[in-house]
Amino acid sequence: MSTHILRIDCPDRAVLIHAITGVLLRHGLNIIANSEFVDPETRRFFMRTEFAGEVDGEALTSELTASLPEGATIRLARAGNRDIVVMVTREPHCPGELFMRHAFNEMGATIRAVISNHDTLEPLARQFGIPFHHVSHEGRTRSAHETALLDVLESYQPEYIVLAKYMRILSPEFVSRYPERIVNIHHSFLPAFIGANPYRQAFERGVKMIGATAHFVTDYLDEGPIIAQGIIPVDHTHTAAEMAHAGRDVEKIVLARALRLVFEERVFLLGARTVIL
């Protein structure tokens, strides 16, 4: 029997949980796991329900819509592996982590392809049997480059796009094609050290911990809603280069952790924040 995940967010009402579970029961669906959250400031209600059973998605959605207040978002997804495309530049540790998890079926996703503006990681992708597309930005305007990227991307119809140390900024036009569907790993504990070379910035500021932040990509650089963060301690013996080296471990683990949450459809947006159920 198939399993699905229902995600609802809407203005809070006293009756919501009772009403939603009632609809699921009437559809003969069996709730496996359920979580809710009401944001105390905005009074917005969030609910994630995993259920088993034969589902008529259209009928379920329409009955739920009728039971919920105006402004409700209802999303239904099958449980299981997502189809994704990974975008990279030259650094191997984050892509390598994802390829390895993919190879041993531990990521909750199938990497359909890798796209890069450099060909550095082509051998690594090929070694794992993953199609690699080199879409160089050289001699192209940003707009022309993004058009070329989109051509490749769209041929795969990915559910999510993962920027695994993709080091070029994507335009708002590009990003708006994939709302809540692009995940980036930034190599700092945001909002500290926005922008280029955060490890050098961290070194010069003399911090005693460095971090990494996985976030959805929105229009503004490094300002997307945060999904997961991690840190590791450093000290005066670390040069900027050694901070970068140490940081790789936390980057790849934080990215993998965030992706797991995203692929299990646990992450909701609440303004600039995320709710994770």
Residues lying near a second copy in the complex (CB under 8 A) are found at 14-15, 17-18, 21-22, 25, 30-41, 92-93, 96-97, 100, 103-104, 106, 124, 127-128, 189-193, 204-209, 211, 225-231, 235-237, 239, 245, 248-249, 253, 256-257, 270-276
**Shortest distance (Å) from residue 211 CB to a second copy:** 8
Tokens of 163: 């920027």
d(CA 164, CA 246): 17
d(CA 239, CA 205): 12
- Cα dihedral 88, 174, 157, 275, rounded to 10, equals 80
Name the residue nearer to a second copy (CB basis): 97 or 146: 97
Name the residue nearer to a second copy (CB basis): 139 or 196: 196
The answer to whether 162 touches 101, Cβ cutoff 8 Å, is no
| C-alpha triplet 60, 62, 68: angle, nearest 5° | 100
Single-letter amino acid code for the residue at 166: Y
Tokens of 210: 């460095």
Name the residue nearer to a second copy (CB basis): 158 or 225: 225
**Shortest distance (Å) from residue 147 CB to a second copy:** 32
Q: Which residues are catalytic?
A: 222
Name the residue nearer to a second copy (CB basis): 153 or 164: 164
The answer to whether 49 touches 34, Cβ cutoff 8 Å, is yes
**Shortest distance (Å) from residue 154 CB to a second copy:** 30
**Shortest distance (Å) from residue 215 CB to a second copy:** 9
- Give the other-Cβ count within 10 Å of 119's Cβ: 12
